[in-house]
């Protein structure tokens, strides 16, 4: 059924709101029994790629030359490296340093948020290691002393890492305490609830399933609306000098 050309998606120079009504599936090299919705990529001006992978039972992700972060949204999957094996369920995440051979195989219909970025090493700093965990076991800390806005660091902001991934959970009515304008770019997927996202000079209603890209310096602010908490997964580049 057509929708008379309407969508909530927008593509501006410094931000993208990508809503499920506008998603188009493709396959990436090496994927089997799987599809990718590529939300964010260098084609839009980002220094990383973010996609949703949809896998049939037995489906696999292809390889990547870059670092890879996985967050399991739905289903179940097995992650095998040369030295470890993990069963991932909703809320599980994994970080694989660049050059880590691994396979990810769906045990049933599975959806994953996938972030990939070429690694920028830092002199005198050891390379990062494989990380696997659960979002609900990560330490939760209030942002700017607001107990209604909790941040969980999944990929820690340590110098070895050139990006961080957090979840942010807002109680109904909670909001960022400032409009942020910063050098870091963001990739964001709304996991639960919804609210209003200010991006640039626009205010957008957003809900679970929406994906947002914010370019460096894109003015940004969020307030949770509704009777349940709003939660998102958010990527940002970190710990590297702007001049490289």
Question: In DSSP terms, which residues pair with 230 in a beta bridge?
Answer: 170
Q: How far apart are CA 20 and CA 204, in angstroms?
A: 15
CB of 236 to ligand UGY, least distance (A): 6
| Residue 18 contacts which entry, Mn ion, ligand UGY, none (Cβ below 5-8 A, type-dependent) | none
Query: Whose CA is closest to 153, among 163, 119, 187?
Result: 163
- How many residues line the site for ligand UGY (CB under 6 A)? 8
Q: Is 153 in the site for ligand UGY (CB under 6 A)?
A: no
What is the separation of C-alpha 64 from the centre of its chain, rounded to a whole number of angstroms? 17
Question: In DSSP terms, which residues pair with 120 in a beta bridge?
Answer: none
CB of 18 to Mn ion, least distance (A): 18
| Residue 231 contacts which entry, ligand UGY, Mn ion, none (Cβ below 5-8 A, type-dependent) | none
Task: Identify the residue among 17, 34, 61, 168 touching ligand UGY (CB under 6 A).
Answer: 168
CB atoms within 10 A of CB 10: 15
- Is residue 22 helix, strand or coil? helix
Window 146-205: residues binding Mn ion (CB under 5 A): 180
Question: In DSSP terms, which residues pair with 70 in a beta bridge?
Answer: 94, 114
Window 186-205: residues binding ligand UGY (CB under 6 A): 186
Nearer to Mn ion, 138 or 151 (CB): 151
Q: Is 180 in the site for ligand UGY (CB under 6 A)?
A: yes
Q: How far apart are CA 43 and CA 69, in angstroms?
A: 20
Terminal-to-terminal C-alpha distance of the chain: 48
Nearer to Mn ion, 78 or 180 (CB): 180
Please report where in the chains the tokens 């972060």 appear, as a residue. 69
Nearer to ligand UGY, 60 or 220 (CB): 220
CB of 197 to ligand UGY, least distance (A): 8
- Is residue 137 helix, strand or coil? helix
Rg over alpha carbons for the chain, rounded to the nearest Å, is 17
Q: Is 234 in the site for ligand UGY (CB under 6 A)?
A: yes
Q: Is 220 in the site for ligand UGY (CB under 6 A)?
A: yes
- Which residues of this chain interact with Mn ion, rule CB under 5 A? 180
For ligand UGY, the binding residues (CB under 6 A) are 168, 176, 180, 186, 220, 222, 234, 236
């Amino acid at each position: 059924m057509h929708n008379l050309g309407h969508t909530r998606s927008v593509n501006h120079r410094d931000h993208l709101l990508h809503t499920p009504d506008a998603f188009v599936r493709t396959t990436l090299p090496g994927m089997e029994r799987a599809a990718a919705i590529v939300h964010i990529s260098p084609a839009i001006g980002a220094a990383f790629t973010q996609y949703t992978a949809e896998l049939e039972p037995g489906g696999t992700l292809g390889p990547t030359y870059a670092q890879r972060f996985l967050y399991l949204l739905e289903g179940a999957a097995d992650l095998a490296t040369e030295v470890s094996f993990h069963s991932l369920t909703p809320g599980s995440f994994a970080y694989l340093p660049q050059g880590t051979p691994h396979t990810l195989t769906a045990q049933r219909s599975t959806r994953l948020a996938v972030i990939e970025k070429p690694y920028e090493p830092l002199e005198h700093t050891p390379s990062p290691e494989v990380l696997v965990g659960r979002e609900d076991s990560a330490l939760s800390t209030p942002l700017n002393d607001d107990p209604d806005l909790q941040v969980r660091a999944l990929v820690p902001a340590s110098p070895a890492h050139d990006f961080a991934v957090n979840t942010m959970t807002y109680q109904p009515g909670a909001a960022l305490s400032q409009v942020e304008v910063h050098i870091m770019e963001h990739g964001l997927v709304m996991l639960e609830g919804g609210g209003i996202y200010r991006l640039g000079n626009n205010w957008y209603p957003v809900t679970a399933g929406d994906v947002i890209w914010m370019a460096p310096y894109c003015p940004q602010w969020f307030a949770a609306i509704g009777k349940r908490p709003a939660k998102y997964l958010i990527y940002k580049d970190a710990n590297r000098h702007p001049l490289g």
